[in-house]
Every structure is written in C-alpha cells, then in structure tokens.
Chains A and B, each alone.
Chain A
Amino acid sequence: MNKIVKKRFFSENVVQFVVEAPEIARTRKAGNFVIIRLDEKGERVPLTISEADTEKGTITIVVQRIGVSTYKLAALNEGDYIHDVVGPLGHPTHIFKAGTVLACGGGVGVAPLLPIVQAFKEAGNRVVSILAARNKDLIILEDEIRKYSDEVIIMTDDGSYGKKGVVTVGMEDVIAREKVDFCVAIGPAIMMKFCSLTTQKHEIPTVVSLNTIMVDGTGMCGACRVKVDGKTRFVCVDGPEFDAHKVDFNEMLMRMGAYKEQEKEAFEAYKNALA
C-alpha cells in the first residue's frame, strides 16, 4: 500500500501524484517506470516516474485520464492509498555528453521527459526542449523543464500558447538553425512516429520511450512486445527506450489498439455507474 502525499491538477484531465515509495525513490533512475494497481480488482498500469525525492521517500507520477483505471486513479486524493506500486522497471536512459540534445515531449509525455532533460543537462549538454500539446491547458511541467533546458519551445495545435503547429514544426525550426546531435522524443505513439521520421530525414540519432500495453512489466508476459530492427523485443525488459529509427511504429500503434472495444465498453459502464 502506497500513500498519496500530494495531488495536483495540471488540467482537467492531467493529474500529478506524489506517492510514498521509499525503496523505489532510492533506486530509480531517469527513464524507469513503475507498475501500479489501484485496488484488489484493478489492472496493472505502467507509468513512468517523472521525479523522485530520496529524502522524503516519494516518487512523482503524472497521469492523463483516458480510461477506467486512469479515471479511478485521478479520483484518488491526498491521504488515499494505491494498492500496489512496483518498480523501478525498464532500463534507465543512457545519458552521455552528446552536444546539443533536442528533447521533445508530447502531452503527458513531458512528465517522463523531465528527468531525462535534467540528466542530459547535468551531463553537460545544451538542451533544447519542445513541449507540444493540443492546447495551452495540456502543456505541463513547463517551469520544471525550463529549469534544465537552455531553451524551451512551446507548440500547440490550436495556437492557444506558444507557436501554432505540431511538434515536428518546432523540430524542423531548430534543426534548420543549429546542429542537433541527439534527440529524445516521448509522447503518444503517433507523435513519436513523426518525431522519428523527422530526425531520420536529418540523420539525427533519436531515442523514444515506448508506452505499450503491459501486464506484469517484468518480462513475463510479452504483451508489450514490439518489433525493433525487425526483431521482437519486450518494452518492459529490453526497453522502454529504443532507437526510434528502428521501431516499427505501425505495428506498435496496431498493438496498442488491441483492447479498444473492451476499453470503450468498460469506460461506458464506468461512467454509467457514476451517473
């Protein structure tokens, strides 16, 4: 049982939780994730750790309400408990001195991007961060990202904040004006796919952090499998970060839709039960 010590709404659908998990806070590194289960009947949901406080023994996770489990989670309050939290899982991000690093975060993908931005900055890189979302409300953690970035570019689909346009527009601008040595992109699968296509064109090495469906998160089930460089890999134990240019995004997008019907049905039932 892990206690929620702090809850903060970034927007109507995006919530940040600070959760007690002293062992995980101590051992986690940038890029690691946890699996949570809300209650006895809950499913196992992977969530990337965005921050950790070793002294207070807490980790921070950010979640966007999209289905039953995320709605239930978002409904929890400070003082409530999450039944299970296990981690840190996955390989940590490989941090090195690259030169100029372009860090692209889409929507809630900015949360897992934060510790990576911080680590690349601390490794002596120039870090240019692009935060992209549909609208101003969905831009999160801007101040925190600014703290570790040399420059922050905001992109919104509707132009309600920063520049109008999708993330790749911002990327092209940066790439056109300066040499980018390395790129990290985290966000919805479709966003990562287009980030990858953009940097591939410019031959910039890029990693993406994949957020596939998982059950155990320890390599046991293979639900998260995805093709990378023509080979089937498990995101939970081989990833979650991979060379973006080698990821089969189309297969990944297809696999992420495996339970679309059930998810929709369950969500309808959940909303009806609340109404």
Chain B
Amino acid sequence: MTDYKAERAEAWREELRKSIPAKDRTNLERVEMPMQDAVERRSNNLEVNLGLTEEMAVKESHRCLDCANPTCVTGCPVNVNIPKFIKKIEAKDFLGAAAVIKETSTLPAVCGRVCPQEKQCESKCFYTQKLKKPAVAIGYLERFAADYERESGKMSIPECEKPNGIKVAAIGSGPASLAWAADMARKGYDVTVFEALHEIGGVLKYGIPEFRLPKKIVDVEIENLAKMGVKFLTNTIIGRTITLETLRERGFKAFFIAAGAGLPRFMNIPGENANGIFSSNEYLTRVNLMHAADPEYDTPVIKGKNVMVVGGGNTAMDSVRTAKRLGAERAMIVYRRSEDEMPARLEEVHHAKEEGVEFLTLNNPVEYLANDKGQVQQAKIQKMELGEPDASGRRSPIPVEGSEYLVDTDVVVVAVGVSPNPIITSAIEGLDVDPKRRTIIVNPENNQSNISDIFAGGDIVRGGATVILAMGDGRKAAEGADEYLKSLK
C-alpha cells in the first residue's frame, strides 16, 4: 500500500506546495485541450485532441493542491498515484511522472485518452467535490506524461523478476489481457497472449477509432510488453484452434480469459437485416481493423449519405463520428432516452456535436424499410417520453403511441450493446457462467472462476464496461493468479 501521507511529507513535495499559495492555485482556470478544427477534422482521421504543451501541463499541475487526503485516487479503478505524478509534472520531471503512472497502469497513453475521467478520478477531485469548480485535468495530464515519455524515446521498460519458467496464458488481447500480461511478466512468469483476430489489441484496435486513439500508440505499448518477454500469438482461438485442455497438457499453469463482449445485440425489429444495416462492431471493425475506407485495402464498407446510429454510448459516438469522416451528409444519433441519460462520455457527445452530428433523442426506430434490392431506405421512428426510473436508475423511455414518422437513411449502425462472446465459455466444460447474461462468474476478490486455474476479467465478466475497468480486472486477476500459483508449490 502506498503511504500517501509519508510521500506527501517528502521535502520536494512540501517545497512545491509552498511555492504557490493555495488561493492562487485555485484561482487558475482549468486548461483547455487544444483540438483539431471541427470542420477540418471531419475530412480526416487524425486525432481530435492534440495534447497539452509542456507549458500548459505545468500550469495545469499548479492547480493541483496536493491534498492531504487525495480522494482522486479512490476514483481510479487502478489507483494511479495521482498527486505524485502531477507534482512530478509541476517539478518538470515529466519522465518521472510517467514512471509514477506506470507503477499501477499498463497503458497510460491509452487511459489518458479513453478513460471517462469525469466519472472517475476527476469526479472525486477536491475542485469538483468542495470548490464546485472544474476538476484538475487529471486525464489530460496523464496523457501528457505518457506522450512525453513515448516521444522522448526514453520509454522505460518495467523491471521484471527473474524468470520462474512457469507458463501462463491470456486469452484475448484487449486492455484486460494486456494489463494481466504486464503484471504477470513483471512477476517473472512466461506469458503468452492468444488472440483470435490477426492483430493484437482487441477493442483498442477494432473498436476505438484512430481519431480518438491512434493505433501507433497502442502498438508502442504492445512492443513494450514484447520487450518484457510477453509472447503474442494471433489467429488463435482458444477453444477452437487449441483447446484449454491442450494448453494444460503443454504446461500452462494458469489462464486469464478476457475474450471480450464480442457478440453484438440487435433490436429484432422488422427490416433489421436489410443491407446497409450494421452492428457497430461490424461497422467499426470494417473501418478500423480492416481499413475499409482506404482504397488500398480490399475490405469494403457502405458509405452512407444519411447515416443513422442507434444508441447513446461511446460506441455510438465512435460510429457516428466515423460516418461523418466517411462523408455522410447527415449523421444522426437516434437514442430512446434524453441526453441526460446518455452513457457516452460528455467529451464524445460534445465532439460529435461540434462535428455536425444531429441528436434525435427520445426517438427509437421500430422498423426499417428497404428497396427491391434489399437496401435500407427509410427508418420508421417512434417518439418516446420519459417515465419512472428503471433498474439502472435512469428514467425509462415510454413509446408515444401514434408518433411514428419516417426518416431517410441508407446506412444504419446499431450500437445498442454487446453480449459476451460464446466461443470460449461454451468450450470449457464446467465453467460457471451466468445463465442469463452469459458472463463468466468470478470471485470479485481475485477474479478467479470456479475452475481454480482459470481467471477472467473485462467485458466477458462485466458484460460491457470501460478500458480502465478491464485493466483493473487484469491487475486484480494477476494478483490472484500469482497467489494461486504460489499456493501450488
């Protein structure tokens, strides 16, 4: 356990704190993230957020009060030592800041970009809680430190314990697995990551678009894991190409299943199988993983003129903003609740609006109409109103009878959620799976399943969550697996 008090009492921290009066710190305005122009970025796939400059980062770090009780840390699923890394930035030790983050987070450059900080660390910041002011831009600062380190060419590779020769396997190569693999490698294990697709990275590659998370950033993180000795095997489906039993025979002693929530949900409404209607997984996979929008690549995608994306989560925002970049004249979000209930990050909603995305909230498709070639032409939309809060605590949408109207659309992306991928769970006999949600049931203490050498985490356990929660699972499961393996001796 980190002794935050003792660390805070260190001379350099104290000195920094005294260098600027708290009142002056709280009077500073929160930094604004430099961004690509909203009109310009619609015609390219480059990252929207450009990152803070050194001056901006240091200035923002002045806002952090280095609280005696750093509540921000409690908002972070992997408990990044937030005050310490921010004070390192204030001391202009940017590499030191990155090293602090990497003590607990495997993918800081990724998390600095895609974490919902406003719901996590920043929601627990003293500024938000007590001062009712905008939080310290913890996410921006995390990204700054990670980017600075990567671009400096002095990226530190975490030290690993002496190899213990024990073989362990991660199944899936998304954020949960990468976090698990990193921790296990550090503990000296011989780690192999098995991936079904032809690229490592899972949702970071097929799901999150380039304009939100450049793929080269993910690749650098994967290369670092490789330098730590982690082996990666693509095109390998555990349960199909190789069974778990065979891996056991080949000497693997523990497994971490993080195969993701790879089964898209549809709404099962009439006409939903018309051409031009995609799951968000298919649409994003074609564009991100298969590079369908690049004429150099063979995979096609249908570029719509009037694109409708159904849903209100981050995946919906990623899809609709992708559609804009593929040249859609009209790109719409159709969401059955109101904007207040949208699960997407505020920043994504904001960016989408800036890019000209229309929001049809309290609207829900009930049918699709196609032409004689089976190509979708129109959606029949029903208006909704909000009723009493449902199980999720959000006010539930109620259809307004007789309110249906038609909207022209030639591409529809259904982004209403995903279910766990059935391949791996159905291939392991006796594995405890939630009968309804099809998620793997684990002990929340150590992410161990009912089969003692099998651990699991990420969306295959949670049914659909965030990168950071997946990573948190990976870290917890690594602790669990380490303990389990040590108990065998």
Contacts and interface: CB of A to CB of B under 8 A. Distances in A.
A237 B196 CA distance: 14
Interface in B179-207: 196-198, 206
Given A69-B298, A219-B423, A87 B240 contact: yes
A262 B282 contact: no
Interface stretch (A107-115, A164-172, A182-190, A251-259): A251-259
A255 B290 contact: no
B298 A42 contact: yes
Interface in A209-256: 215-216, 218-223, 225-227, 232, 234, 237, 251, 254-255
A24 B278 CA distance: 30
Nearest to A269: B295
Contact of B300 (A89, A251, A266): A266
Interface stretch (B94-102, B146-154, B231-239): B231-239
A225 B300 contact: no
Interface string B266-293: 1010001101101101100110001100
Given A37-B198, A232-B268, A255 B273 contact: yes
A43 interface: yes
A227 B300 contact: no
A87 B241 contact: yes
A56 B39 CA distance: 57
B431 interface: no
Contacts of A237: 263, 422-423
Given A37-B198, A43-B298, A44-B299, A218 B275 contact: no
B221 to A, nearest CB: 21
Contact of B282 (A83, A87, A222): A222
A225 B272 CA distance: 10
Size class of the contact patch on chain B: 35 or more
B268 A216 contact: no
B268 A85 contact: no
Contacts of B240: 27, 87-89
A221 B300 CA distance: 14
B302 interface: yes
A83 B272 CA distance: 34
B262 A218 contact: yes
A247 to B, nearest CB: 13
Interface in B68-92: none
A11 B77 CA distance: 60
Nearest to A85: B235
Given A84-B235, A254-B275, A255-B275, A220 B264 contact: yes
B236 A220 contact: no
A196 B85 CA distance: 67
A222 B241 contact: no
A218 B259 CA distance: 11
Contacts of B273: 225-227, 232, 251, 255
Interface string B291-323: 100001111101000000000000000000000
B268 A27 contact: no
B291 A27 contact: no
A222 B281 contact: yes
Contacts of A268: none
B319 to A, nearest CB: 13
A222 B266 contact: yes
A219 B300 contact: no
B243 interface: yes
Contacts of A222: 264, 266, 278-279, 281-282
Interface in A85-126: 85-89
Interface centre among B197, B235, B273, B275 (most CB of A within 10 A): B235
Contacts of A251: 273, 374
A221 B285 contact: yes
Contacts of B299: 43-44, 215
Nearest to A69: B298
B242 A23 contact: yes
A44 B196 CA distance: 13
B421 interface: yes
Interface string A33-52: 00001000111100000000
Contacts of A219: 262-263, 421-423
B489 interface: no
A44 B286 CA distance: 10
Nearest to A260: B373
A234 B418 CA distance: 14
B130 to A, nearest CB: 45
Contacts of A223: 278, 282
A262 to B, nearest CB: 4
Interface string B240-269: 111100000000000000000011101010
Contacts of B421: 218-220
A89 B239 CA distance: 10
A68 interface: yes
B237 A86 contact: yes
Contacts of A87: 237, 240-241
Interface in A31-86: 37, 41-44, 68-69, 83-86
Nearest to A41: B297
A254 B281 contact: no
Given A41-B298, A44-B299, A237-B422, A88 B241 contact: yes
A181 interface: no
A142 interface: no
5 contacts: A84-B234, A88-B241, A216-B285, A220-B264, A225-B273
Interface of B: 196-198, 206, 234-237, 240-243, 262-264, 266, 268, 272-273, 275-276, 278-279, 281-282, 285-286, 290-291, 296-300, 302, 373-374, 421-423
The 9 closest A-B pairs by CB, nearest first: A254-B374, A221-B282, A258-B275, A86-B235, A220-B262, A262-B300, A43-B299, A43-B298, A222-B279
Interface of A: 23-24, 27, 37, 41-44, 68-69, 83-89, 215-216, 218-223, 225-227, 232, 234, 237, 251, 254-255, 257-259, 262-263, 266
